Structure 1
Amino acid sequence: MPGTHPTDSIAEAFESQRDRLKAVAYRVLGSHADAEDVVQEAWLRLSRQETDTIHNLGGWLTTVVGRLSLDVLRSGRARPEVSLDDRSPEFTVTLDDAPTPDELVALGDSVGLALLTVLDSLRPDERLAFVLHDVFAVPFAEIAPILGRSADATKMLTSRARRKARAARRPEGAGRHQREVVRAFLAAAGEGRFDELLRVLHPEVTFTVHTPDGPFVTIGATEVATRARLAGSAARGHAATVNGLPGVISWHEDGTPLSLLAFTVADGRITDITAVVDPARLARLDLPRPV
């Protein structure tokens, strides 16, 4: 029957919306896997919908993805994936001077790990309202039906979520200071200045290197400093943000990724370094290309 299944044009329109829908679902759920599931379910629902009754496909899909994401949050099924260990092999990597998507500009350096940490402090309805309105600029009138509230109540809910998010965000300049610590470490590693390495490393720093043979962990400032040649080579790489953490990505001459590093900094010292040098794993990460 006409209108029962999406036409090719509707399928193409859905594909043009897919990245945005995945971004919405990921910001709400904190999990790439759950976001993929939600977007796939949205497509299945579209395939069963009388598409000639949909007057605003983007709005319809946002509503469906929002409701599905809210269901996942309320059921407790969300699987946050913001750590950098083997249990969470997914990385969100952006080059530091790369253009920031319009919908993320207002969040600054809170995108990524820091944003997900902030969102964890919000109730499911607050989280969805905050992400849809403040990150993706969805009007309150369109968010309200998803939450089963009036537009005014949704506006108040979003305002409360915004206050909580601001209270939970890192102090201004924290990200810049962390990068200065990382730059000092990379410079010292590249020049072999052992004493300087010890100055910026926490005494119990952990250095985890993911290789083709599995992860190898080194603990302790002295031990990590002696193994810093790997990080030293990254000094010639490009500063990046890796799951919200300061990081560095390096490439081979042919443009394939060589290494990816992420640093955790607390109180002016590096407490954790994660490095990925496994070519197969790097190839799966869909990392940015050299600029």
Structure 2
Amino acid sequence: MPDTSPADPVAEAFEAQRDRLRAVAHRLLGSHADAEDVVQEAWLRLSRQDAADIHNLAGWLTTVVGRISLDVLRSRRARPEASYDDRLPQLVVAVDDGPAPEDDAALADSVGLALLVVLESLGPGERLAFVLHDLFAVPFDEIGRILGRSADAAKMLASRARRKVQAAGRPTAARREQRKVVQAFLAAARLGDFEGLLRVLDPEVRLTVDTSDGVVVVLGATKVAAGATARVAGGAAARGRAVLVDGLPGFVSWREDGTALSVMAFTVVGGRIAAIATVIDPARLAAMDLPDPV
């Protein structure tokens, strides 16, 4: 931790930026632990610099945090099977009885998980450009320097990411189509139809599995499809039903004895599944207010 005594003005200036830097890193990485590590690394790099040469400390620190976070994101893409400390947020599960006009307002507010899982499904460059520009107002020329690309290229990445986020956040316009895509996924998984799974999965789909040992991430349609067919073919699920999970199309499955086996939430973008958030941790499942098995 930096020395925050009055005799150390650089440390004081850094501490004044700490909360904002932590927020930037957390939005980029989705992990409190990783965000803390990134902010601490930014401090170490600042401590090795001559502060007199830094004319805009806030901008300099944001750039450093962005570059370190980008390295972490790229490392995750190379090692998608790694476990992460941060769990999925507490999920609200409701029976999915089809769209009802009186539910529209509630569904419109239920985009927290959608935003989270779509951010996780973005490529490192897309996520950095979108988060830094749209959430923290960092100029595109600065984002381009972090990415090693032009400002126009950074703008295109942010625009592409924005379209994905906006598509996932539309609560009712495409709800029926989203259900059809999810139903097609579940049917293909039950039949072991690998090609059918690939047809409904985005090539860069992200599967996040909350287990008792941490969160495991799997990237790519081929790996997600292979895992889906294996789990269903050899799984212990006896019953299941469609649900809404934080307003997203979802599915709950139970064992024969009535204990919950898993909760899944699907983010559908452009007619394909872009992300799947799954909870199989028995402790978390036991703490959820789940509907009765059918």
- TM-score (normalizing by structure 2): 0.48
Give the structure, 1 or 2, with the largest relative contact order (CA under 8 Å, sep 6 or more): 2
- TM-score (normalizing by structure 1): 0.49
